[in-house]
Structure formats: C-alpha cells, structure tokens
Amino acid sequence: MPTSQGREIGARDALLAALNEEETALQESRHDESEDSDSSGRSQASTKSISGTIFEPHIENGRQYANANYYMPNDDAEETRLSVVHQSFLLLLEDQLTMARIPDDIKRVLDVGTGSGDWAIAMGEQYPDAEIVATDISSYSQPPTVPPNVFFQIDDAREEWTYGSAFDLIHIRCLNGAFSDWAHIYHEAFRHLKAGGIIEVVDMGLIRVVEPSSASYLSIYNGVLQVAADKAGITLSLEHLQKTVVEASGLSVLRTTTLEFPLGSHPTDSRLKMVGKMALIAALEGLESTALRLLTKELEWEPDNVKDLCSKVVQDITRRGARASVPCQFLIARKLLELE
C-alpha cells in the first residue's frame, strides 16, 4: 500500500503534469503571432553563450549547489521549480512581466539572479529591439536557442558591477536571502541605471495560513528558518524592500505593492484558483529547497529530520480550511533625472 507521502508526491506530479498541459496550450496560442513573423526574414532565436568561470557544483545531501555558501540549490529540480514560479507570476500579473511601466523603445535591461532565465527570455521576445543581460552565479540549462537579444552571463552581484553601458530597467526577483548587504545591491543598481531608469525588486515572505498556531509544523518551520538565516548572516524577511533602505542609495521609490499568492484551489476567482494551484506546487517543492542547506549547515540538523519536517508542513499547508498564502511585495524605484 502506498504511503501518505507517496500519495502526496503522486498527486503533486499529476497536478504539475495537468498544469503543464494547460500552460503549453496557452503559450502556443500566445506565440502564434510571433512564430508567424518568422517569414519576415528576421531571426527569432540564436544559440546563447554564457561567459564567466567554469561552474564547479557542490553536492550536499542529494542536492546540487552553485558554491559553498548560497543556501538555494541549482539542480534540475530547482530549475523546474523556478519555471513554475515564473508561470505563477505570469498568471498573477495577467501575462505582464513587470508592474513597472516600460516604454516601447526600451534599450537595455538587466535581470539579476536570472535563475532558469524564463523572465529574461520572455522579455527578449516581447522587446526584440532591447538588449537583455541576464546574470547569475551559475548557469542553468536554458533552452539551446533564445532570442538573439538575450545574453546570459555568470556574475556575482555581491561584487562590483562592471557593465559598460547603463540600463533602462533592472529587474531583481525572488532573491530574498541571497544578499547580506542589500545596500551594496542598491548602490550598484543606482550606478548602472540611466537617469530616469527603473529598478523593480520583487520578493516573497514566509508561508502563512488562516488561524495559525504557534505549535503547528508550519510555525516551527518558519521559526527555525529564521534562526538559521540569522546565524548565516542573511535575512528571509522583506526588510530590504523598506523605502528608507532603498532610498539611502539615491534611488527614489515610486511605489510598493503587496499581493497575495494563494496556495491551493481555495480562491473563488477562476484565475486566482489557477494561480493557487501552480503556486502550491512551487511552494511544496520549495520547502526542502529552502530549508535543507540552511538547517543542516547552520543548525546541524540531520537531512532526514529536515525532510520529515517539510513533509509535515505539507500537511499543514494542504489541510482543509488552511487557505495558505504567501505575501509578495513589489517595489519600483527610479533614478531621478538630474533636473529633478
């Protein structure tokens, strides 16, 4: 007889397969127009090139990591999860890639911590005349062909940025906990934005449920994550999105917006119900991805204990009436014109 955990995984895989079929059909209809434009003679894609140092993976507890420090993995499972996250954002934002107002004649875009590269590729398709630079500390297996205006580079944003030309838009998404010094990130962004240029930073908070209990496994999970993150010298909160933190670099915050990512099919709205189904997959897969290295390295937990806690958190999140969600905050700031 299959175990309850086996049934959960099987149901999750079946849901992911069904969602992938729906999203594939949706994407095919979206790209009909762009595919038809191939007859114009303009190349729609070219083989990408990634510059940088040779990637030497670190294997720990059955997961692959980019280096000895960053807590999130970069293996195939994580790449799949990041792609699901990207699709969840598209659904949440009703097919928009950003909440910022982007002019049609935008020239240069920087995507910091591009991960699976889905956002950068989509930007390249939507703005074929713009140059999209997508960076990360390691390379994922992006599709072998991407728009010819998208360039992937291995780069560490914690170091000095050395881009030759300024950007119209800098995009940073889901890098909560990646940097211990966000002041440096904002300072470098300010230096590399054109006057009037925009930066959008998007991050998610911790999972929450209706009527939370301090004794629940979710509360325990969130608590030990915070302790481990503090010990690692990083924060999993949204403090880096505070106006005072951002504007200390010289940037001017235009607006902040907080949306809720539902986790599951509890919303009554059909679009949010689809968002919730897809976001739940990403959240469930993200439990172990987020916790495994932090808890084993910083708090010396056994890997099996981390996985056991994660499986119990799944029950908390998916129980009837939990109505789980994740807060998602969008911050848009601008480098002022010299006359402003």
Going from the first residue of the chain to its last (340 residues), give the mean pLDDT of each consecutive group of 10, the final group possibly shorter. 42 48 45 39 32 67 94 95 96 96 94 96 96 92 84 95 96 96 97 97 95 85 96 94 96 96 95 96 97 98 98 94 96 83
User: What tokens appear for 274 in the block?
Assistant: 């689809």
Q: Which 3-state string (H, E, C) describes 120-177?
A: HHHHHHHCCCCEEEEEECCCCCCCCEECCCEEEEECCCCCCCCCCCCEEEEEEECCCC
Dihedral angle at the C-alpha atoms of 28, 280, 78, 235, nearest 10 degrees? 130
Q: Are 71 and 290 in contact (CB under 8 A)?
A: yes
Provide the pLDDT for residue 56: 73
Instruction: For residues 162 and 133, give the distance between their C-alpha atoms in angstroms, rounded to a whole number.
Output: 13
User: What tokens appear for 37 in the block?
Assistant: 């434009």
SS3 112: strand
Q: Is 139 exposed, middle or buried (0-12, 13-18, 19+ CB in 10 A)?
A: middle
Q: How much is the pTM?
A: 0.84
259's CB contacts (< 8 A; 6+ apart) are 92, 327, 328, 330
Provide the pLDDT for residue 194: 96
Instruction: For residues 25 and 31, give the distance between their C-alpha atoms in angstroms, rounded to a whole number.
Output: 10
Provide the pLDDT for residue 55: 58
SS3 264: coil
Residue 186 Cα to chain centre, angstroms: 18
Dihedral angle at the C-alpha atoms of 241, 243, 248, 250, nearest 10 degrees? 100
Helix H or strand E encompassing 204: strand 193-204
Instruction: For residues 289 and 295, give the distance between their C-alpha atoms in angstroms, rounded to a whole number.
Output: 11
User: What tokens appear for 124 in the block?
Assistant: 């390249």
User: What tokens appear for 79 in the block?
Assistant: 């790449």
Provide the pLDDT for residue 212: 75
Provide the pLDDT for residue 6: 45
